[in-house]
Amino acid sequence: MSRVILEISHLHKVFDTNTVIEDLSLTVHEGEVVVIIGPSGCGKSTLLRCINALETIQGGEIKLHGNTVSKNSKDLHEIRQKIGMVFQNYELFPHMTVLDNVMLAPMKAQGRKKSEVREEALALLKRVGLESKADSYPRQLSGGQKQRTAIVRALCMHPEILLFDEVTAALDPQMVREVLEVILDLANAGKTMLVVTHEMQFARAVADRIVFFDDGQIIEQAAPDEFFDHPKTDKAKQFLNTFTFERDRSTTNRA
């Protein structure tokens, strides 16, 4: 198999007395798309936040390319440059245009040349169909456009891995697709990604591996077809059932 990008071993995360992640180990290889699914409140966001040290951890280790990621690392902001994060609510900088949002970190954090960054930013915006929005402010965009901007902002840093935390959960249904297509496109381009989502069809289409997560532990992981067609654990079956129930009901309604 190709080289390891992210290696999480025996991760422990506790909020006060509430253990959210317990002895979790997970490895992501270069070019791999790992999709994490699981009921809400099971610790998916917390896991992603631990990976770029937005949370302190109480045990275990997270390594990116062999470098330990920790809140105390001296070179933390250099490590973070290699981890792209896309949040559920976009978190664009409201006082900057789309283009400035994308260009800020490459210029200030990486010290790259303005002309070069600008060219790349515009090319990336074009790739996601936002070239005409470069000079707009976030408040002038739809949710889907904001999220595509956030993805471009992360991409422009040339991260080694992209983390997506339910990036379509805040979107109106008609905008979900435009964002998922961008992610699918990135997956096809060979980007390494860790994706948290509730969109099961999308998970199946984009994933190399599905990780089913509950109560802060990995319950089951498998290739997508195998996981969705033949889930092994009761918890996974139950979880998948909550989705098929909705489908069944809609077919009966139509009948």
Partner 1 sequence: MDKEFIKQYIPLYSEAALLTVKIGFLGIAAAIIIGLVCETIVYFKIPVLRRIVSVYIELSRNTPLLIQLFFIYYGLPKIGIRTDAQMCGIAGLAFLGGSYMAEAFRSGVEAIDVIQEESAYSLGLSKLQTVRYVLLPQAISISAPALIANVIFLLKETSVFSAISLMDLMFTAKDLIGLYYNTTESLFLLVVFYLLILLPVSVIGSLIERRLRHAGYGV
Place of tokens 């599905």: 210
Q: How many residues form the binding site for ligand ADP (CB under 6 A)?
A: 10
**Nearest Cα to Cα of residue 216 among 50, 4, 52, 33:** 50
Q: How many CA atoms lie within 13 A of 248 on its CB side?
A: 6
Q: Which of 32, 33, 43, 45 binds Mg ion (CB under 5 A)?
A: 45
Strand partners, 11: 24
Q: Which of 12, 65, 137, 208 binds partner 1 (CB under 8 A)?
A: 137
Q: Is residue 139 close enough to count as binding partner 1 by CB under 8 A? A: yes
Q: Is residue 236 close enough to count as binding ligand ADP by CB under 6 A? A: no
Yes or no: say if 210 and 200 are a contact pair by the CB < 8 Å rule.
Answer: no
Task: Select the binding partner of residue 109 from ligand ADP, partner 1, Mg ion, none (C-beta < 5 to 8 A, by kind).
Answer: partner 1
Q: Is residue 168 close enough to count as binding ligand ADP by CB under 6 A? A: no
Q: Is residue 147 close enough to count as binding Mg ion by CB under 5 A? A: no
Measured from the CB atom, the residue of 84 and 216 that comes closer to partner 1 is 84
Q: Is residue 98 close enough to count as binding ligand ADP by CB under 6 A? A: no
Residue 209 to residue 203: CA distance in whole angstroms: 9
Expressed in percent and rounded to 5, the helix, strand and coil fractions of the chain are: 40, 25, 35
- What's the min distance (Å) between Cβ of 224 and ligand ADP? 20
Yes or no: say if 19 and 43 are a contact pair by the CB < 8 Å rule.
Answer: no
What single-letter DSSP state applies at residue 122?
Answer: H
User: What residues from 18 to 57 belong to the interface with partner 1 (CB under 8 A)?
Assistant: 49, 52, 54
Yes or no: say if 81 and 157 are a contact pair by the CB < 8 Å rule.
Answer: yes
Measured from the CB atom, the residue of 49 and 153 that comes closer to ligand ADP is 49
Q: Is residue 149 close enough to count as binding ligand ADP by CB under 6 A? A: no
Residues within the interface to ligand ADP (CB under 6 A): 15, 18, 20, 40-46
